[in-house]
């Protein structure tokens, strides 16, 4: 009989915990209107932010294409400051 009582108490405690958890979840989860407002406020939805991201990607791709088209191996360049200031870079 004692084993049955302990089992019932354990089930009751777990049930109460599940009930409290469900209640807290219902209180914390935003409603449908709040979800829509949050989605509208996302940075990806901002047209200016999207345009900046597109421009940045275009610049990165242009740089990569330029680097792929050059035959100069920039990893072995000895004098980086001369290359930046307009020097030949093959010193």
Provide the domain limits for residue 66.
Answer: 38-70
Whether 43 maps to a domain, the answer reads yes
3-state SS, residue 41: coil
What is the Cα–Cα distance from 19 to 9, expressed in whole angstroms? 15
In a domain, 85, yes or no: no
Within 8 A by CB and 6+ apart from 38, the residues are: 30
Structure tokens at 30: 């935003």
User: pLDDT tens for residues 45-70?
Assistant: 778 888 998 999 999 999 888 888 87
Domain-embedded: residue 86: no
What does pTM read for this prediction? Answer: 0.37
The sign of the CA dihedral 58, 61, 62, 63 is: positive
pLDDT of the residue at 18? 92
């Amino acid at each position: 009989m004692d084993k049955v009582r302990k089992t019932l108490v354990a089930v009751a405690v777990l049930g109460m915990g599940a009930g409290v958890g469900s209640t807290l979840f219902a209180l914390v989860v935003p409603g449908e209107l709040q979800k829509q407002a949050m989605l509208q406020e996302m940075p990806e939805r901002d047209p200016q932010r999207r345009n900046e991201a597109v421009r940045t990607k275009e610049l990165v791709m242009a740089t990569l294409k330029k680097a792929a088209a050059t035959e100069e191996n920039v990893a072995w360049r000895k004098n980086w400051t001369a290359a930046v200031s307009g020097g030949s870079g093959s010193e």
